[in-house]
Structures are given as C-alpha cells and as structure tokens.
Structure 1
Amino acid sequence: MTAAPEVLREPGFRRLWLANAFRDSAGQVSSFALPVTAVTLLHASAFQMSLIVVFSRVGFVLIGLPAGVWIDRWVKRDVLMWADIAYFVSLATIPIAYVAGVLTVPQLIAVALVMSVANVFFSIAHTSILPLILPKRRVADARARLQTSESAIQASSPGVAGVLTTVVAAPLLYAASTIFHLVSAVLIRSVDAHEKPKSRDEIEGRDFRREVREGVAVTFRQPLLRLLVGQVAFHNFGIGLMASVVAVFILRTLGISPWLFGVLSTVGAVAGLVASVACPPLRRRLGEVRMTLIFSGFAPFAVLCIPLAGVHHGLAVAFIAVAEVVLSFAGVGRSVAAAGLRARVTPNRYLSRVSAASGVITQGATPLGALLGGLLATSVGVTNVLWLSVAVIAVPLVLMLRSPIRSHRRLPPEWEVED
C-alpha cells in the first residue's frame, strides 16, 4: 500500500480532497477564461492585463498578516467554506454582466481583487487545517495526493475550456466555475477537523500586534523558513513579470489562437501530472532538500523558451510547449519536494501566522512583478520583459547554492517540532 491511498482513509481529508478537486476545476476554468476574455473580447492592453494580474495577487499584501492572526482564532473549516462562497458570488457577476452587455475590464479587475482576498483566507486556513486532520508527518503525503489531483485537473481543464471557446463565449465559462465553488463549499462544511472555536476569554486576553510580530519573527528566525521565503519570493516576482505580458505575447504577438493556447496549457499540465506521480518516490530517494535544489534549476530554463519563441517564429508553438512542460514539471516537483517542510519546523500555534507572514512576502512579490512588467511593457516592449523574468527566476537557484543547507539531503532532525 503506497502512502497516498493511506491518507484518503481519513474521512476528513477525503472530503477536503474532493472539495479541492472541485475548487481546482473552478480555478483552472476561470484562469483560462480570464485572459481570453480580457485580450480577445475586451481588447485589454498589456498594462490592463498587468493590472488584472496585480489585483488577482495583491490580497496577501493588503490583509495577509492580520488574516493569519484572525484565522488562528477562528474555525478553519468555516473560513474555507466562506472563502468558497465569496468566489461563487464574485465569479457569478461575470457571465451575468456579459449577458447584459455591460462586461468591462474594470469589472474583471474588481472580481480579481475579491478573489485575491478570498484566496488569502482560503490558503492560510488550508495550510493550517491539514495538521489538524492528519499527523504532521502525513502532511507531505496529503499534499502529494492533493498535487496529483490538481495536476490531473490542470491536464484536462484548459484544453476542454479552449475547445469550448469555439462554441460559447469565454465569459460564460465562469458559470461552471461558480457551480464548482458552491459544491466545494458544501463538501468542506462536512469536514470534521476536531477543532473547537476559541472562547471569548481566550481571544480577549491576546495582543493582536504581538501575535503578528511573533508570526514574522518565527518565519525569519527559522533558517529553512527564511530560505524558502526568499526563494519563492524571487520566483514569484519573476512569474509576475512574465504573467503580466505572456497572454498578450502568445495571443497577440505570436498570433496563437485561444483553442491552441488551451491545448498548450494542457500539454504543460500533463507534465505536471507526470511529475506529481513520479516525484513522491523521487523525494524519498533523493531527500526533500536535495530535490528542492535540483528542481529550482529547471524553472529559468523553462521560462527562457518563451522569449525564444518570439525570435524563432517558425518554432514558436514548439518553444511554448517546451516552456509549459518544463515549467509545470519543475513547479510540481519543487512543490512535492518542499511539501510539509513548513509544518514540520513550525509549532501548530504559529502555523496560520507563519503561513500569513510567508504569504505576504511570497505572494506579494507576484503583483509587484506584474505591476513592474506592465509598466516596462509600454516602454521597453513585451519581449524584453520576458527576458528580464528569466534573469529573476534564476535567483532562487543561486540562493539555494549559497545556503549551508545545500549540503543536506533531508531536513535535519533537530529542526523538527511536534506541537
């Protein structure tokens, strides 16, 4: 019996896993429909696309730190459920506005902002609830199972959505996303994480600002957490640069059609699915630290293929396909390698706050990169922004190579905590 099927024997995790499947499906459909709607239907400029990316990722910057404290005080299951409901309501406005003939880019930006804030609460609560459902050493197996499911959904959703855009308008795809989020909320409501709500006396006796400071202090005091935050921050900054212009580059500069855009995304997602299956045993063989180092080196080479597609137009589709495959494989592999590390070195009482502090920096880097990318695109051009993203995404590998932890294959036992 492999590790992944064992975690599905836990009823709470099984329901959470199924809810995640619906939520991931919703996310994949909406993430494909958004750039297609903005670029091909509303004729958004590169700067407007960068604003959509900025507002879709700015939630952690706006509310990440206080959200970590609040979620430590609230029931995590309820936070997950209400986040899904917020997604449901905000996404439903897009097909309604389209049918009414009043859909605009500013509305897409507003929806992106609401979803970004909802994602803050969902992400932090999701990170914090897993150690309440499963023992800490099982969290990595649970994340591997979630990653496999997510990759399988990524492998099918963009291609299906791309084909559907040849039959129905892209904004109507959001109707499916709203239904998926509603189903996810219902499933999460049935999850029992054995968590009791904090009493009023417990909450009133705690200092809000001190709790925020504690979360930040733990994040930067622990060497592994500090390294992971630095790596992911630079990676996400580079991804933000790329994301701000890549849809314009592929759909407009290269002239690739929306359905082929969806197929290329599917090709990358298939690579992610392969990685999610192949990497858990590879993680056990190489060690999570060594594997993180190896997969950190793949990402810059993947992103390099995107601007090269503009240099060699005859091979554009092939270059984009290689970029999708390698970037997806590298992202999933690194995620599997690092799965559960944060939980193993962080006491449970700090998990939400550490997740929030890390998220403010790592998730906040993406909108900053996207904003800079949108501004630079108007002055130096879309292709040059892509070249810059390649350089920035190479920085995490440098950080890993310069870190003392590079000599370890696995997490040093003395860094682990049990409560």
Structure 2
Amino acid sequence: MPVSLSSSVGVPPDDAVEVLKVPDFRRLWAANGFRYAAAEVASFALPVTALLLLHARPLTMSLIFMCSRAGFLTIGLPAGVWIDRWRKKPVLICADIAYAAAFASVPVAYFLDALTVAQLVVVALVVSLAGVFFDVAHSSVLPYVLPRRRVADGNARLQSSETAIQAVSPSVAGVLTQSVAAPVLYCFAALSHLASLLLLRGIHPQGDIARAKRESERRFGQEIKDGIRVLFRQPLLRLLLNQAALNNIGAGILLSMLPIFLLRDIGVATWLYGLLSTLGAVAGFATSLLAPRLRRRFGEIRMTLLFSALAPFAVLAAPLAGVFRQAAVPLIAVAQVLIGIAIVGRAVSTAGLRARVTPDEYMGRVTAAYSVVIQGATPLGALAGGLLAGHWSTGTALWAGGLVMALPLVLLLLSPLRRHRTLPAEWEV
C-alpha cells in the first residue's frame, strides 16, 4: 500500500487545516481561476464568432465543438503515462504557454482580416490538446500540495471558484460584444493564461519528482494498460466512469446545439445569450456553497443519487423550448438553472472520491484514462448533435441529448452503491 503524501515535507499534517491557507494550493487555486475565466470567455466568443461573423453551419459548429473537446480522445492515455513520469509543475506552465499562443492568434488574424473557420478549428484543437496536459497534471499535483483527505475540500474550493467565475464571465462577455467584436475577447483569454503561468511558477509541490529513468524500463503500452485496469476493476471508478460518459454524450449534444438554437433559430441578442449562461452559473455557485455541507451531513453517495436524479428534469426544459418557441427564453432559463444545480451538485458530491480509491503511483494514468472516456464522449455527442440537426432539426437534437442524460440515473439505481450513505471504507487505499 502506498505511503500517504500527507506526511511529506511542506504539506500541513493537520487534516483540519483550511486548504486556502496552504500557499501552494492557494497559488494553484488562483491559477486555475485565471485559466477558467479564459475558458469561459473563449467558450462564449467561439459560437458568436463562428455563427454571426463567419456564418458557420450546424455541422461545422459541431466539428469546431468536437475539436475543442477532442484532446483526451486523441492523446489522453499517453499523456497520463507521461505525466506520471514527469514533474507536474513544468507541464502546467508549458500548457499555459500553448493556451496563450493559440488564443492570441484569433484577434491577430481578425485585425488582419484573415480569420477563417479553419483557424477556429485549429485553435480549438490546440487548446484541447493543451487542456489534456493541464487537466491531468492539475489533478495529479493536488495530492502533493494537500493531505489526501483534504483533496475533496480542495476540489470543492476549485469548483466554487469555477462556478463563481462562470457566473460572471458570460454576462460580461455578452455586454462587451455590444461594443467590441467577439474575436477581441480572445485577448483577455491569452492574458489570463499569462497570469496563470506567473502564479504556477511560485508553487513547489513536495514529492513531485521526475520518474523517467525508473519508469523507462517498463513498456509504455503496459503502463497504459495498468491505468485502464485500475480504472475498470475498482467498482466506484467504473460506476463513475459509466455515468459520466453517458452524461457527457448528452451534454455534448446539448452544448453544441444550444448556441445554434438560441443565436440563429430564436435570434436572441448576444447579451441575452450571455445572461442565460450566467443564470446556470449562479445556480451552480449557490449549489457549490451548500452541497459540501449536505455531503457531510447526508453522505456523498446519497447526495450523488439526489443530484443525478435531478439531471433528467433539468435538461427537459431545453427541448421543450424548441416546441414552445414563444416561451423559449424562460424555458432555457429554467433549464440553465436546473442544469447548473445538477452538474455542480454532483461534482461536489463526488469530489475527491477518485483520489481516495486510486494509488498515488497510478493517479496520472487513471486520471487520463478516466478523462479519455468522459471527455471523449463529449465531442462524440457534439458530432451526433450536428448530424441530427442537419438531418432533422436542432429541436430533435435537443430531445436526443435530454434522453441520453437521463440514463446515468438508471445506472446508479441499479448499482450496489444505492444502499450506502458514504464511501465503503474497504474501497479506500
């Protein structure tokens, strides 16, 4: 059994310490905030630029969205092996550099009157690939800056800040598009990643060392298989994986089709599109503040059941907006609020569970293998959404997305976990 890192030099031994009082985590938290703000602004600017400025079609939109989420599907597994061998800090810094360069290219091309859909596809792909390394390294470095039993609280803090940023960014970006072109917003995204880079230079994860010499003696393919084996043999990891994969297929359909439905089919203004996104983020932020208390009182398993049960009802309002178009805006508003509650509530309820059941030496590979499946499901859902919308309509695609997102609850109700309040002690490492 691996030795816990909570006793490492520089990591507070007191499990009750407030995670934001740990300097390295505080810098990591702030860097993640800048990175997430950049992602939110870029995610808002992308459909506005592609649809309203470059007049992209639904299938083209789904292709752009697919490329923006294709990183884990293409290099996720080898990235997990590499990051288990490498030091995590340099990986995070290099990812920030790639992010900043890709985002900065958009306003440069716009001012040169050379911006094309093809460039947006390339930028989306580069950002997605950088995101693989950033996400896996970010998750893998947490046990090196916090005691293992505080990783869940660290994840909860990260989730709260992310939802707070998400609550502000789309509305601000929507208002800004009334006076500046959407591609200009990518300047903010690039600067945010430079700020993240400066913060990450100040962290010093204890015990995070390069293992290239020792690990190089093993076969690369065998290491990938090791991560997959741990992921599929552990009951909780397997359940969370199946649930998240189905959820993300449905989410990929909805996320790729909602901008087309709102901006093109309904014709809402960009500021209103940003406001609708903000409603869900505000609901998610409120949930992130309440959910940790509920998780401690009722148990993470019961809270996961509750929020998973809410998800099917949350997404139902989106396809209904395609039927009752006169009430489309309030219905989408309801959908955004309920989706924000369901997604954030489930994320907080399950925060730290993977870290508690995964050995340290497999953390990068398991994180990567897990992310390959769940992140790879999203672009596949986006592609399915584009095909459905092209063959039938965006409304049909929204119904399909809602139906798929109802399936994870069925898996959870059929699993033995429904009889537990908290994570069984025998599953922890």
Q: Does 1:356 align with 2:333?
A: no
Q: Residue 344 in 1 paired to residue 356 in 2? A: yes
- Structure 1 Cα separation of the partners of residues 120 and 352 of structure 2: 34
User: After the TM superposition, which segments of 4 or more aligned residues of structure 1 sit over 4 Å from their partners?
Assistant: none
Q: What corresponds to 1:393 in structure 2? A: 405
Report the TM-score, using the length of structure 2 for normalisation: 0.95
For residue 280 of structure 1, the aligned residue among 280, 286, 292 is 292
The whole-number CA distance in structure 2 between the counterparts of 1:323 and 1:27 is 22
Distance (Å, rounded) in 1 between the aligned partners of 2:340 and 2:121: 26
Q: Secondary structure at the match of 2:115?
A: coil
Of residues 257, 277, 301 in structure 2, which corresponds to 1:265? 277
Per-residue deviation, 1:201: 3.1
> Secondary structure of the equivalent of 1:8?
helix
Amino acid paired to 1:20: N
Say if 2:177 is the partner of 1:165. Answer: yes
CA deviation after TM superposition for structure 1 residue 194, in Å:
1.2
Does 1:212 pair with 2:218? no
What is the CA deviation profile of residues 46-84 of structure 1, one whole-angstrom value per residue up to 9, with x for unaligned ones? 001100111011111110111000000001111111111
Q: Establish whether residue 201 from structure 1 lines up as the match of residue 213 from structure 2.
A: yes
> 1:85 maps to which residue?
97
Give the corresponding residue for 2:4: none
Cα pair distance change 1:4/1:119, threshold 3 Å: farther
8 Å CA contact 1:254–1:310 kept in 2: the answer is no
The residue aligned with 2:87 is 75
Distance (Å, rounded) in 1 between the aligned partners of 2:331 and 2:150: 38
Q: Deviations over 1:314-359 (max 9, x none)?
A: 2211101111101011111000000000000000000000011111
Q: What residue number does 1:189 align with?
A: 201
Aligned match for 1:101, one of 99, 102, 113? 113
Equivalent of 1:41, from 53, 65, 79?
Answer: 53
Q: How far did residue 360 of structure 1 move?
A: 1.1
Alpha-carbon distance between aligned partners in 2 of 1:341 and 1:138, rounded to the nearest angstrom: 11
Deviation at 1:5, TM superposition (A): 7.6
Q: In the alignment, residue 381 of structure 2 is paired with which amino acid?
A: G
Q: Secondary structure at the match of 1:80?
A: helix
3-state SS in 1 of match to 2:18: helix
| Amino acid paired to 2:24 | G
The alignment of Structure 1 onto Structure 2 pairs a total of residues equal to 415
Aligned to 1:150: 162
Structure 1 segments unaligned to the other structure (5+ residues): none
Where does the alignment leave 5 or more consecutive residues of structure 2 unmatched?
1-14
Partner of 2:11: none
**Structure 1 match to 2:267:** 255
Q: Give the superposition deviation at 1:200.
A: 5.0
Matches of 1:173 and 1:4, distance apart in 2? 41
Distance 2:368 2:252 in 1: 19
Relative to 1, partners in 2 of residues 1:215 and 1:200: Cα closer, same or farther, differing over 3 Å?
closer
Partners of 2:323 and 2:395 within 8 A in 1 = no
Letter of the 1:394 partner, please give it: A
| CA distance, structure 1, for counterparts of residue 243 and residue 422 of structure 2 | 18
Please give the secondary structure, in 1, of the residue aligned with 2:209.
Answer: coil
- Shift in Å at residue 204 of structure 1? 2.6
Residue type at the aligned position of 1:185 = L
Which shifted more, 66-75 or 298-307? 298-307
Corresponding residue of 1:134: 146
Aligned to 2:78: 66
Name the residue aligned to 2:5.
none
Is 1:113 aligned to residue 125 of structure 2?
yes
Shift of 1:248: 0.6
Q: Compute the TM-score of the two structures, normalised by the length of structure 1.
A: 0.97
Q: Secondary structure at the match of 2:331?
A: helix
Partner of 1:52: 64
- How far, CA to CA, are the matches of 2:382 and 2:248 in structure 1? 10
Deviation at 1:191, TM superposition (A): 0.7
Paired position in structure 1 for 2:423: 411
Tell me if the contact between 2:136 and 2:368 (Cα under 8 Å) persists in the aligned partners.
yes
1:197 is displaced (CA, Å) by 3.2
| CA distance in structure 2 between the partners assigned to 1:231 and 1:140 by the alignment | 20
Root-mean-square deviation (Å): 1.2
**1:195 shift after superposition:** 3.4
Indicate if the aligned counterparts of 1:75 and 1:195 stay in contact, CA closer than 8 A. Answer: no
Percentage of pairs with the same residue: 57
Aligned pair partner of 2:27 in 1, 15, 30: 15
Question: 2:264 & 2:142 partners in 1: Cα distance?
Answer: 42
SS at match of 1:253: helix
Q: Distance in 2 between the 1:390 and 1:305 partners?
A: 9
**Cα distance change, pair 354–87 in 1 and its aligned pair in 2 (3 A):** same
Partner of 1:292: 304
